[in-house]
Amino acid sequence: MTSPAPGQDVAVDPLAGTASQADISAEMAAIGRQHDEAGDVVTQPRLDYAPYRSSTLRHPTLPLVRVDPEGVEREAPAFGHRDVSPLEADLTIQHHGEPVGERMIVTGRLLDGEGRPVRGQLVEVWQANAAGRYVHQRDQHPAPLDPNFTGVGRCLTRPDGSYRFTTVKPGPYPWKNHRNAWRPAHIHFSVFGQDFTQRMVTQMYFPGDPLFDLDPIYQSVVGPAARARLVAAYDHDVTRPEWCTGYRWDIVLTGTHRTWTEPGDAR
């Protein structure tokens, strides 16, 4: 695939949305004003957030089905403690060479609503490479794959509830929600829980990203405080000299400071 010439509009794909960024931004601003006027405190995303186009058709319209967790376990994915190697938390050592990009440590704690650590939990991450490209058949946009980076990792939280990954900072990528739509750099996180019915999926962002105001997925969390909790903090104490930068991000499972989690397959 050839790269587009500078300035060329790449959103001529028939599958791409036709709205402009200005259209989407105006829609997001209007919803934000409604939220501000209502004065409510929202921690979770709008499931049918129209600026995030595909959410209007695929959002749940019925209450969640309650199922017996033990029954689900007979067929659902499962994991055992012996299956998770400590090496799986380092996304930079999965191939023969070093991946390209800003090497970094991402660490934090998994906490319940009372601030207590949640230990022994499976935390999974997946992300684009430094150029913003996923190793996935559906991602064919003209950014390079990195032969030394797959972009998946996992670990178990320690007794103090902490997790820790070594990886490279992902790049932003286009996603066709509308013309010239770009996602802010992010890492997808899954927290498994005690069984598959408790699994939660969310996204972590990086401080100061200029795409925050333009992104309908980030903005679908209409409460500004809840949005801010999705952004990691640069932490110089996490960095390693001559080796990598460091970011810190806690995940809160319940309560008023609960981390936003997604109901489906947000990209």
Question: Which are the catalytic amino acids?
Answer: 134, 173, 183, 186, 188
Q: What would the DSSP string read from start to end of 162-188?
A: EEEEEEEPPPPEE--SSTT-EEPPEEE
Question: Measured from the CB of residue 250, what is the shortest distance to Fe ion in angstroms?
Answer: 20
Question: Measured from the CB of residue 187, what is the shortest distance to Fe ion in angstroms?
Answer: 8
String of b and e for 176-212 (b: at least 16 CB within 10 Å)?
bbbbbbbbbbbbbbbbbeeebbeebbbbbbbeebeeb
Question: With respect to Fe ion, which residue has the nearer C-beta, 133 or 267?
Answer: 267
Asked if 29 contacts 214 with a C-beta cutoff of 8 angstroms, the reply is no
> Helix, strand, coil proportions of the chain in percent (round to 5)?
20, 20, 60
Question: With respect to Fe ion, which residue has the nearer C-beta, 178 or 267?
Answer: 267
Question: With respect to Fe ion, which residue has the nearer C-beta, 215 or 250?
Answer: 215
Selection from 211, 239, 248 nearest residue 25 by Cα: 211
Selection from 206, 209, 246, 214 nearest residue 230 by Cα: 206
Question: Measured from the CB of residue 188, what is the shortest distance to Fe ion in angstroms?
Answer: 6
Question: Measured from the CB of residue 22, what is the shortest distance to Fe ion in angstroms?
Answer: 24
Question: With respect to Fe ion, which residue has the nearer C-beta, 141 or 267?
Answer: 267
Residues in the interface with Fe ion (CB under 5 A) total 1
Residue 261 phi/psi, 5-degree rounding, is: -130, 150
Token pair of 178 as six digits: 């509308």
Question: With respect to Fe ion, which residue has the nearer C-beta, 160 or 265?
Answer: 265
CA–centroid distance for 245 within its chain: 19
CA dist., res. 97 & res. 149, Å (int)? 9
Question: Measured from the CB of residue 59, what is the shortest distance to Fe ion in angstroms?
Answer: 19
Question: Measured from the CB of residue 140, what is the shortest distance to Fe ion in angstroms?
Answer: 15
CA–centroid distance for 171 within its chain: 13
Question: With respect to Fe ion, which residue has the nearer C-beta, 156 or 231?
Answer: 231
Only one of the segments 54-62, 142-150, 246-254, 259-267 lies at the binding site for Fe ion (rule: CB under 5 A); that segment is 259-267
Looking at residue 181, its amino acid is A
Binding residues among 47-76 for Fe ion as defined by CB under 5 A = none
* 220 burial level (CB within 10 Å; 0-12, 13-18, 19+): buried
Chain residues that interact with Fe ion, rule: CB under 5 A? 267
